[in-house]
């Protein structure tokens, strides 16, 4: 269980994270989403004791990360797969982690097998690893202590399609056995496939939070046409609020009503459906359109 309560981080007058509150529950995968610069990584660093909050709290299993005895035995963390000594081999990195956590060396071989790194690959130095191999090693390191909670920031970076499917199965199995997973990723399709709950953040504040299915079902209707401007006016003339998306319009009425209005005005529709059918990407873009800061660091 991860409990975040009014978590805030300020740098001077700038609030990188502003009163963020949510729970990541056992037995569930929580997708943590937001555009670049939204504050996701800063939040996760505060959860793991790497960045001190200005105010608010973040607890894991009822305690702050720093107060957990031998925290690696309770929480597995992957925030940056590059943050290991490039001159060490994969096996050396895992062995040092095992010794630090008080684990037998046999745990290293177990994890190498779990993440699909061969004995030959384990003997290579990290500087010779591909990004995908580094991600697998980072996931192995997070799993070393057989934790109850996983905090993973962009763990699918560099993984090929087979690797992404493997990771999806691994995390789903971890949650199904009662573990808590907090997963940040820009691969929205993967989040849609695996996540049970969603937390969407924009400019340091939560813009949506709840069960994935509930959020998608409540998102209304998405429509595209050959003349979105004229369609938007027709909908507004009928008392319907319209949200402009990326080449689409979103409204909180049924697809049937939108279709009838378009027919009355002889506007050709190229797409019409509930937002839940268009998926997480459309909902994400709509929720964060005003908050996106492409290119800024998270």
DSSP per residue over the chain, as a string?
-EEEEEEEEEETTEEEEEEEEEEE-TT-EEEEE--TTSSHHHHHHHHTTSS--SEEEEEETTB-GGGSSSGGGTEEEES-TT-S-TTSBHHHHHHHHHHHHT--THHHHHHHHHHT--HHHHTSBGGG--HHHHHHHHHHHHHTT--SEEEEESTTTT--HHHHHHHHHHHHHHHHTT-EEEEE-S-HHHHHHH-SEEEEEETTEEEEEEEHHHHHHTT-EEEEES-HHHHHHHHHHTT---EE-SS-EEESS-HHHHHHHHHHTTPPEEEEEEHHHH-HHHHHHHHHTTT--TT---
- Residue 21 binned pLDDT confidence (cut-offs 50, 70, 90): very high
Domains of the chain: 2-212 (3.40.50.300), 219-288 (3.30.70)
User: What confidence category does residue 295 fall into, taking pLDDT thresholds of 50, 70 and 90?
Assistant: very low
**What's the pLDDT tens digit per position in 34-90?**
888 889 999 999 999 999 999 999 999 999 999 999 999 999 999 987 788 889 999
pLDDT higher than 80, residue 255: yes
Q: What is the pTM of this model?
A: 0.78
């Amino acid at each position: 269980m991860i409990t975040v309560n009014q978590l805030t981080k300020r740098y001077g007058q700038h609030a990188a994270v502003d009163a963020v509150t949510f729970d990541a529950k056992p037995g569930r995968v929580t997708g943590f989403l937001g555009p670049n610069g939204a504050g996701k990584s800063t939040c996760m660093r505060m959860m793991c004791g790497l960045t001190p909050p200005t105010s608010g709290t973040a607890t894991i299993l009822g305690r702050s990360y720093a107060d957990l005895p031998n925290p690696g035995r309770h929480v597995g963390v992957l925030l940056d797969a590059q943050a290991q000594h490039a001159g060490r081999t994969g096996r050396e990195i895992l062995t040092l982690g095992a010794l630090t956590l008080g684990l037998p060396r046999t745990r290293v071989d177990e994890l190498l097998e779990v993440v699909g790194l061969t004995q030959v690959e384990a003997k290579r130095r990290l500087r010779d690893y591909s990004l995908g191999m580094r991600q697998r090693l980072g996931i192995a390191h997070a799993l070393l202590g057989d934790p109850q909670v996983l905090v993973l920031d962009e763990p699918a970076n560099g993984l090929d399609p087979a690797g992404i499917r493997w990771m999806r199965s691994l995390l789903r199995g971890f949650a199904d056995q009662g573990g808590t997973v907090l997963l940040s990723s820009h691969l929205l399709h993967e989040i849609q496939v695996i996540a049970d709950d969603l937390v969407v953040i924009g400019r340091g504040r939560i813009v949506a939070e709840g069960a994935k299915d509930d959020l998608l079902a409540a998102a209304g209707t998405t429509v595209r046409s050959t003349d979105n401007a004229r369609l938007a006016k027709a909908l507004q003339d009928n008392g319907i609020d319209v949200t402009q998306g990326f080449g689409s319009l979103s409204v909180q009425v049924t697809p049937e009503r939108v279709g009838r209005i378009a027919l009355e005005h002889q506007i050709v529709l190229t797409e019409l459906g509930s937002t839940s059918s268009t998926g997480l990407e459309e909902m994400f873009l709509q929720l964060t359109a005003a908050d996106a800061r492409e290119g800024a660091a998270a």
